[in-house]
Amino acid sequence: MKGIRRCLLMASILLAAAPAWSFDFFGLFGSDDADLERLLASAPAETAWFTAGHSDLDSYRFVQGDPLYQGTPFNANQGPLEELYGLAEGSPGMSLLVRMYEDFMVQMSTQVDLPSYYGIEVGDYYAFYLDGLMPVVRMVVSDPQTFVQRWEEAANDLEATAKTRQIAGLTVQQWRLTPVQDDNQINLALSLDGDIATLTLINEFDSDERLAQRFGRANADESLLDSDTWDSLGKEYDFDTLMRGYVSLAEVSKALLHPHTSLMGRDLQALMPSQMADLNASISANCADEWQGLAQSVPRLVYGIEDVDVSADRIVQSLRFILEMNNQNVTTELAKLPGSLPAYSADASDKIFAVAAGIDLNALSPVITALWTEFSNARFTCPELVEMQTALRNGLNPSFAGMINGVLPGFKGLGMAAFNLEPDPQSPTGLSGSALVSASADDPVNLANTLRASAAAFYPIPQIPTNGDPVAVPMPFWPQPIYLAIKGSHLVAYTGEAAAQAADDLTDEPLNRNGTLAGAINMPRFGDAMIDAMPYFELPIQGDCEASYLSMLAFSDLPVEYTYRETYTERGWEAVMNGKIEKVASEDYQIEPGQYQTSVLGGDCQWYPDGTETLSADGSGHYVQIDEQQQCELYTLDYQWRQNGNQLLQDSESGQSRDRCGQSLSSVEVEDYQCTILGMSEDGFYCLYDAGLDTEMLMYYRR
């Protein structure tokens, strides 16, 4: 049984992510409404998970033209891929999915025309959904022969021979997904019906009618096309055709509580009979009905892309999530809670990160009282729900929220931002930075007085002027001064110039009701800050240290900014995530010829001097390693170098070596080297050597 759950989980993830969403992100899919209708006609309207959409050619060209993606190698021996193959051991079907994912990553790294390589044309929809418990991916392919060829090549590499069967007159290839020792058999299946490819799972309990529908040879009795789901997501929520979808909490609960009425429920009963029997035996009929009624009040988590703006130098994308709530009394009350979110929490361009939480404390007590009353007055006969209701009546006193407002009168929100973090030899910690904390309220003077009164017994805080002037807080053990000030409707604490400017900007910023939570992160700034702070972290194990450096370097190379905001509205809980990807100029990612001092990351997470390397403009290179006393050359290497994307290639010509000073240099056999360029900056760059050496080695080249 564990094998079934493992296979379903992994296959669902790979089915959804690798063939469809990965392609969609890089623009392999486009749009044709007639094609989408063909895909949705066989998709059951009661599906618990649905996503469909397309991308555009501009997005694909943007990514393919970015220097960061040019020549990026894919290491087939990297940890995540090895772990996936480990999970897939004993399962030809799962191994095939992993092999296709590996091939996709390899082809991305070689800059092939991905759509043509897989037989897909930009301009075609995809659809992913659950048919009962079985995940289904359907897509239009422009070159069916090439599409099938890629799967056959992957299967041949694994020596995974497919079994063929006929389903409603259609030839289907299948590979066993569950291990042989499992009682139930689930297979990965692939078919081509004209120009539509279907990748799905089939199990031994599937009827001929279910299989005909799953492979598009028959329409569903009540399909997503019939229910007008796609169009309603666009009309009701203004989602773009780029991507729309939902997860149905109501359908999942129905599958668990009333399995005989649900495709997913019947699949669960067939594949996990004892577990479902135990679950249903433990829930009475009236409890199942009442729990289902609660689930119906929060029926779906819907999501979709609102907009994508592609220009020559950036992609900006907005993705919205909405947890639908059908109880108007509840949504009306929750919509009163959002508080004030500072503007700096919605802008990642000038900082490392920012977070903010907003809540109107004036509304908190009335809202909790209303919700408490709503649930307390609901009529339940289910013992478990009656017990919960009684415990709520007896154990929750809504007046506690009023007490909080009494301590923090008129409180509207709290925010924090970190603007920079960098090495500082004058600082006792070796680091300095700039950060801001702000609290918003109807009257921030009351907050200031509460802060001073609360801290008086531990640490005296000076009187804070009400005219906006800052006052320094004496902090003898803190490496740089901290200031407190009242800026308009905000009480602020800050350190550093960037934070001081952000604090001043709050002076004219009015209170708002923009949400309950917000955040922003600038990936390059975050990576750079963590790299600067790494020498002060205790990471004694080399594997952890190198992995941490590589992760932070990956962030610093990723020209991406994210912002996030959530709130409550009359529709329910809503969240919006915006992402911006900047294109890196080719000249900004080119190695400058010159002389570099090299250092090597040691096993104790310290950097050790290694030598001097000269990269000449004519393509010649020279490396010299000096002994510890800096008295003589122990090793020299002459080579020809070139850069291919983010790869530094070194074709060695001759080398000389000796064990110690006083000996003569002797010619030695040389090898070619290759490293991946990381963390390019004006001062130099990092390079991860993974070719020509026994083990990976991270080096830093400083100009």
Q: 461 near 436, Cβ under 8 Å?
A: no
Concatenating the DSSP letter of every residue in 517-537 gives EEEEEEHHHHHHHHHHHGGGS
Percent of the chain with pLDDT over 90: 61
Q: With 60 as the cut, is the pLDDT of residue 468 above it? A: yes
CA distances from 73 to 49, 58, 700 (A): 34, 24, 20
User: Nearest CA to 428 among 526, 352, 528, 536?
Assistant: 536
User: Among 176-185, 222-231, 328-337, 635-644, which stretch is predicted with the lowest mean pLDDT?
Assistant: 176-185
Q: How far apart are CA 99 and CA 119, in angstroms?
A: 18
| Stretch 117-127: mean pLDDT | 85
User: Nearest CA to 441 among 312, 339, 547?
Assistant: 339
Select the more confidently predicted residue: 279 or 695. Answer: 279
Q: How far apart are CA 272 and CA 275, in angstroms?
A: 6
Tens-place pLDDT, residues 505-551: 999 999 999 999 999 999 999 999 998 888 777 654 545 788 888 88
**What is the reported pLDDT for 543?**
55
Q: 600 near 610, Cβ under 8 Å?
A: yes
- Burial status of residue 381 (CB atoms within 10 A of its CB: 0-12, 13-18, 19 or more): exposed
Q: How far apart are CA 310 and CA 271, in angstroms?
A: 46
Q: How far apart are CA 326 and CA 573, in angstroms?
A: 11
**What is the reported pLDDT for 583?**
82
Hey, what are 363's tokens? 């509304």
Q: How far apart are CA 241 and CA 53, in angstroms?
A: 6
| Stretch 243-259: mean pLDDT | 96
Tens-place pLDDT, residues 358-384: 999 999 989 998 998 898 889 999 999
Tens-place pLDDT, residues 186-205: 999 999 999 999 999 999 99
Q: How far is CA 32 from the centre of its chain?
A: 29
**What is the reported pLDDT for 359?**
96
CA max distance for the chain? 94
525 forms bridges with which residues in the sheet?
none
Q: 450 near 484, Cβ under 8 Å?
A: no
Q: With 60 as the cut, is the pLDDT of residue 8 above it? A: no
Select the more confidently predicted residue: 584 or 260. Answer: 260
In the DSSP assignment, the letter for residue 291 is H
192 forms bridges with which residues in the sheet?
197
User: Nearest CA to 556 among 580, 529, 589?
Assistant: 529
Q: With 80 as the cut, is the pLDDT of residue 573 above it? A: yes
Task: With cut-offs at 50, 70 and 90, classify the pLDDT of residue 112.
Answer: low
Cα four-point dihedral sign 473, 479, 480, 484: negative
CA distances from 64 to 25, 26, 578, 642 (A): 12, 8, 21, 21
Q: With 70 as the cut, is the pLDDT of residue 18 above it? A: no
Q: How far is CA 690 from the centre of its chain?
A: 27
Residue type, 66: D
Q: Which residues contact 140 (CB under 8 A, 6 or more apart)?
A: 32, 35, 39, 124, 125, 126, 195, 196, 197
User: Among 46-50, 533-537, 697-701, which stretch is predicted with the lowest mean pLDDT?
Assistant: 533-537
Tens-place pLDDT, residues 430-443: 888 999 999 999 99
Hey, what are 598's tokens? 């090299």
Q: How far apart are CA 96 and CA 173, in angstroms?
A: 12
User: Among 261-275, 518-532, 674-688, which stretch is predicted with the lowest mean pLDDT?
Assistant: 674-688
User: Nearest CA to 26 among 119, 96, 113?
Assistant: 113
- The helix or strand, by DSSP H or E, that contains position 470, with its residue range, turns out to be none
Q: With 50 as the cut, is the pLDDT of residue 62 above it? A: yes
**What is the reported pLDDT for 30?**
42
| Stretch 158-184: mean pLDDT | 90
**What is the reported pLDDT for 78?**
57
**What is the reported pLDDT for 639?**
97
| Stretch 635-645: mean pLDDT | 93
**What is the reported pLDDT for 538?**
64
Task: With cut-offs at 50, 70 and 90, classify the pLDDT of residue 70.
Answer: low
**What is the reported pLDDT for 2?**
38
Task: With cut-offs at 50, 70 and 90, classify the pLDDT of residue 349.
Answer: very high
User: Nearest CA to 233 among 52, 105, 108?
Assistant: 52
| Stretch 97-126: mean pLDDT | 82
Q: How far apart are CA 616 and CA 266, in angstroms?
A: 69
Q: With 60 as the cut, is the pLDDT of residue 33 above it? A: yes
Q: With 90 as the cut, is the pLDDT of residue 558 above it? A: no
Q: How far apart are CA 560 and CA 602, in angstroms?
A: 30
Q: 236 near 179, Cβ under 8 Å?
A: no
- The helix or strand, by DSSP H or E, that contains position 249, with its residue range, turns out to be helix 249-257
Q: 633 near 626, Cβ under 8 Å?
A: yes
Q: How far apart are CA 566 and CA 321, in angstroms?
A: 9
User: Among 36-50, 251-265, 538-552, which stretch is predicted with the lowest mean pLDDT?
Assistant: 538-552
Select the more confidently predicted residue: 50 or 601. Answer: 50
Phi, psi of 370 (to 5 degrees): -65, -45
Q: What is the pTM of this model?
A: 0.87
Q: How far apart are CA 306 and CA 242, in angstroms?
A: 8
| Stretch 27-39: mean pLDDT | 68
Q: How many CB atoms lie within 10 A of CB 576?
A: 17
Average model confidence (pLDDT) across the chain = 87
In the DSSP assignment, the letter for residue 339 is B
Q: How far apart are CA 51 and CA 64, in angstroms?
A: 25
Hey, what are 223's tokens? 């399909």
Residue type, 695: T
Specify the length of the chain in residues. 703
**What is the reported pLDDT for 393?**
81
Q: How far apart are CA 75 and CA 88, in angstroms?
A: 19
**What is the reported pLDDT for 1?**
38
**What is the reported pLDDT for 105?**
81
CA dihedral 552, 557, 560, 566 (to 10 degrees): 0
Percent of the chain with pLDDT over 70: 90
| Stretch 301-329: mean pLDDT | 93
Q: How far apart are CA 439 and CA 461, in angstroms?
A: 17
Task: With cut-offs at 50, 70 and 90, classify the pLDDT of residue 638.
Answer: very high
**What is the reported pLDDT for 72?**
55
Q: Using DSSP, state whether 488 is helix, strand or coil.
A: coil
| Stretch 592-605: mean pLDDT | 90
Q: With 50 as the cut, is the pLDDT of residue 24 above it? A: no
Q: Which phi-psi region, left, alpha or beta, contains residue 92 (left: φ > 0; alpha: ψ -120 to 50)? A: alpha
User: Among 50-64, 209-223, 303-317, 559-573, which stretch is predicted with the lowest mean pLDDT?
Assistant: 50-64
| Stretch 488-511: mean pLDDT | 97
Q: With 70 as the cut, is the pLDDT of residue 74 above it? A: no
User: Among 79-83, 294-298, 539-543, which stretch is predicted with the lowest mean pLDDT?
Assistant: 539-543
**What is the reported pLDDT for 684?**
93
